[in-house]
Amino acid sequence: MSAKAPLGVAPAEEGAGTPGQQAVLGQMVEDAAVWCAVHGLVVGDRANQRSGTVPGVGLVHAPFSLLPARFPASFFNQACELAPIFNELVDRVSLDGEFLQAALSRQVLNSIHWILLVNSGLSFSNFRTKQVDEFTSRLLEIHDKMMSINKKEDIRLGLHRSDYMLDSETNSLLQIELNTIASSFPGLGSLVSELHRTLLKQYGKVLGLDPKRIPQNWAATQFAEALGRAWAEYNNDSAVVLMVVQPEERNMYDQYCLVNHLKESYGVATIRKTLAQVEAQGQVLTDGTLVVDGRTVAVVYFRAGYAPTDYPSEAEWRARLLMEQSSAVKCPSIAYHLVGTKKIQQELAKPNVLERFLDNKDDIAKLRKSFAGLWSLDNEEIVRSAIQKPNLFVLKPQREGGGNNIYGQDLQDTLIKLQKEQGEALAAYILMQRIFPKASLTPLVRGGDCFEDLTISELGIYGAYLRNRDKVILNNQSGYLMRTKVSSSNEGGVAAGFAVLDSVLLT
C-alpha cells in the first residue's frame, strides 16, 4: 500500500476535517491501537519470523481504517438480501456435477473433444487435452472421481462471502466475486465493527458521526454457530472440527476467533492441521469415518487449499482426496469449491443459466441485477474491445487469494499475446467489466502509523448455509466485512497487503 500524506499534513479542505477534528483523530489512533491489542484485532507481524507459526508471538494490530466507510443503507440492505439467495444457488449448482465439469472442462478441452466426450459418456478427465490450468484441472479430477463413485454429501455446509463494489458510473451494487472456500475475516471483521462503534461512542459527537449507524456484525459467532450445528448434525460427541490451515498463517487470530467461539458456545474442539499433516496423520476407515491424529473428524473447515501454492507436492493432493472421500462434512466440498470459481461466476451470468437452478423469478432478478459484465475469451468481439479499451476491463485467471488479476496495459499485452498463440490458454481466463467505486479520503492505520489517502471500498457479505438432506437448517446472511484500499491499487486483499479492514457507516 502506498501511504502518502501522514495524518495532519493533508489540507483540511480536502476532507481531513477541522484542526480540532485533526487533534481528535490523533488521539483516536492511539486509542484504536490499544483497543486492537486488548481485544485481539491482531495479525502476525511480518517482521517477526515466528509470527506465522507460533501463536502469541510477534503480534501487530491488523491494518484498519480509522473511521467506518460511508455506505448507502439501501445498497447495504440489497447486498444482505442477496446472501441467502446465493447460498441456495451454490447448493443447487453443486448438485449438478455435469454442469460444473462441462463449464470448467471447457478450459482444457476444445469443442470437438467436448462433443466426443458428451456422446461417449466416458470419464471427463480421460479426455483432457493440453492442460491450460493445471490447478483447476486437479480439483476437477477429484470432483470427477467423486462423481464416478456417486458420492453424496447429505450434510452440506457453506460459509461464503460475496464481495461487492458500488459502481459510480451506473450507481449500482455489483458483485466482484463469490468466495466459497476459506472466506476470511469473519473474526477480525466483527471486531473492526466493534472498534469503530467504540471509537464513535467516544468521538462521534465531535466528528458528527453516529455510532448507531454502524450495523451489528456477528460474523464470527454466526460462522461458529454454523460450524457447531454442522458438527451436531454429524452426531458424534467425541468428534472434532478439523481446520485445514497453511503451514504459515499470519491471519491465525481471525481463525482462532472461530475456534474459541466453537469451544465456548458449543463445547466443540478444533484441531488445526496442514494438508501435509492430514496426509501423514489421516485415514478413512471402511465406514467412511475420517480420523486425523487419532481424532474422529466431524467437520473439515478449509482455511487453506484454495491456491496452487497450497499443494507443493502430491502429498497435499492425496490429503484433499482423502478428506473428500470421507463422510466428514466438508466446508467446502469439492463441488462447493468449484461453484466459487470465476469461470462458474461467468457461466452463471449467461442468459437463462440461473433459471436452471432457481425457481423464484424475483430471486433470479435480484441476483442478475448484481452481476457485472462477465465474458469468456472465446467472445472475439469482447476481446477486441478489451484490447482497445483495457481500462474498462479486468482479466481474471481462475485463482483466489488476491494479486492475480491483470489490468490496463498488462491486460492489453496479455490479450494480444494470448490471441497470437491462438491456443487454449485463452480459456484459462475470464474478462470482467471494470467497476469504478467513488474514491474518498480516509485515514488508514498500519503498523501504528496513520496516513490519509484516497480510497475505495469493497463490501463483503457473509452467508452461512447448512442442510441435512431435505432439511435446510441454516440459510442466513451472517455479518459483513468492509475492505478499503488506496484507489491507485488494483488488488484488494488485506492479507496480501493491499487493503485495510473496515466497517460500514450507513448513510
Q: Which sequence positions are flagged as catalytic?
A: 161, 177, 179, 184, 342, 396, 400-401, 483
Under the binding rule (CB under 6 A), the answer on residue 277 touching ligand ADP is: no
Q: Which is nearer to ligand ADP, 182 or 284 (CB)?
A: 182
How far apart are the C-alpha atoms of 445 and 2, rounded to whole Å?
12
Report, in Å, the least distance between residue 440 CB and Mg ion. 21
Under the binding rule (CB under 6 A), the answer on residue 72 touching ligand ADP is: no
Show the cell assigned to 439: 474514491
Q: Phi/psi at 119 (nearest 5 deg)?
A: -70, -30
Report, in Å, the least distance between residue 341 CB and Mg ion. 9
Q: Which is nearer to ligand ADP, 295 or 342 (CB)?
A: 342
Which of Mg ion, ligand ADP, none is residue 404 near (CB under 5 to 8 Å by kind)? ligand ADP
Burial class (CB in 10 A: 0-12, 13-18, 19+), 214: buried
**Which residues, 153 to 192, sit near Mg ion by CB under 5 A?**
179
Residues 6 or more apart whose CB falls under 8 angstroms from that of 489 comprise 1, 2, 498, 499
Q: What is the 3-state secondary structure (H, E, C) of 276-333?
A: HHHHHHEEECCCCCEEECCEEEEEEEECCCCCHHHCCCHHHHHHHHHHHHCCCEEECC
DSSP states along 126-163: GG--S-S-HHHHHHHHHHHHHHHTT---SEEEEEEEEE
Under the binding rule (CB under 6 A), the answer on residue 187 touching ligand ADP is: no
Q: Which is nearer to ligand ADP, 239 or 435 (CB)?
A: 435
Helix, strand, coil % in the chain, rounded to nearest 5: 45, 25, 30
Under the binding rule (CB under 5 A), the answer on residue 400 touching Mg ion is: yes
Show the cell assigned to 50: 515466528
Length of the chain: 507
Which of 476, 504, 494 is closest to 225 using CA atoms? 476
Q: Which is nearer to ligand ADP, 211 or 493 (CB)?
A: 493
Contact 32, 445 (CB under 8 A): yes
Binding mask 121-160 for Mg ion (x = CB under 5 A): ----------------------------------------
Show the cell assigned to 132: 491450460
**Which residues, 119 to 148, sit near ligand ADP by CB under 6 A?**
none
Binding mask 359-398 for ligand ADP (x = CB under 6 A): -------------x---------------------x-x--
User: Taking the alpha carbons of 375, 377, 383, 386 in that order, is the dihedral positive or negative?
Assistant: positive
Please state the separation of Cα 177 from the chain's center in Å: 8
Residue nearest to ligand ADP (CB): 492
Binding part of the chain for ligand ADP, among 145-153, 267-275, 463-471, 485-493 by CB under 6 A, reads 485-493
Which of ligand ADP, Mg ion, none is residue 40 near (CB under 5 to 8 Å by kind)? none
**Which residues, 159 to 178, sit near ligand ADP by CB under 6 A?**
163, 176-177
Report, in Å, the least distance between residue 214 CB and Mg ion. 23
Under the binding rule (CB under 6 A), the answer on residue 491 touching ligand ADP is: yes
Residues of this chain that interact with ligand ADP (CB under 6 A) are 163, 176-177, 372, 394, 396, 399-402, 404-405, 432-435, 458, 491-493
Residues of this chain that interact with Mg ion (CB under 5 A) are 179, 400
